[in-house]
């Protein structure tokens, strides 16, 4: 298999608590902070937000690809991705995800079909499959 692209990102400092993120091309540069909801300062982004952004962007691309394969013309696509950090009773952390795509130009059945097809195509979905709970709530617009 040929490698098409490799993202290279460095994180230093305290990681999620005051760390600094910098991509090798300099296009991604941000600070990290623990969310206020978890007792942190909440003054910067966090790993869950970064995962949500990447997964949502990739998932929309997968929806558009699924539509193109089926020769379905979409009028719009948006998505809200929710990544939840779960602190279990065993003092371990895990994740869950909810993907809420809104797909324009199709009926509800087609929106649902495209979202489920995208979940099979999207590399983020493939990487997390059977590792974390994922809920997909597609809506036709």
pLDDT in tens, 107-126: 999 999 999 999 999 999 99
Q: Helix (H, G, I), strand (E, B), or coil: what is residue 73? A: coil
pTM above threshold 0.85: yes
Enumerate residues 6+ apart whose C-beta is below 8 A from 106.
67, 72, 74, 114, 140
Give the pLDDT score at 2.
84
Domains present along the chain, CATH in parentheses: 1-45 (2.20.25.10), 47-140 (3.30.300.20)
Q: Is the pLDDT of residue 3 over 90?
A: no
Percent of the chain surpassing pLDDT 90:
94
Q: How does pLDDT run across 61-73, given as a tens digit for each residue?
A: 999 999 999 999 9
Cα distance between residue 61 and residue 40, in whole Å? 33
Enumerate residues 6+ apart whose C-beta is below 8 A from 12.
19, 20
Cα distance between residue 65 and residue 119, in whole Å? 11
Region 2-31: mean pLDDT is: 94
């Amino acid at each position: 298999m040929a490698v098409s692209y490799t993202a290279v990102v460095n994180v230093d400092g305290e990681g999620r608590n005051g760390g600094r993120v910098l991509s090798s091309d300099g296009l991604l540069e941000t600070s990290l902070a623990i969310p206020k909801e978890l007792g942190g300062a909440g003054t910067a982004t966090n790993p869950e937000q970064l995962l949500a952004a990447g997964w949502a962007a990739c998932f929309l691309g997968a929806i558009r690809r699924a539509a193109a394969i089926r020769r379905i013309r979409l009028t719009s696509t948006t998505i809200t991705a929710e990544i939840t950090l779960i602190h279990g009773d065993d003092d371990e952390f895990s994740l869950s995800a909810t993907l809420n795509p809104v797909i324009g130009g199709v009926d509800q059945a087609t929106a649902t079909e495209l979202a489920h097809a995208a979940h099979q195509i999207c590399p983020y979905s493939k990487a997390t499959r059977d590792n974390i709970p994922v809920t997909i709530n597609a809506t036709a617009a």
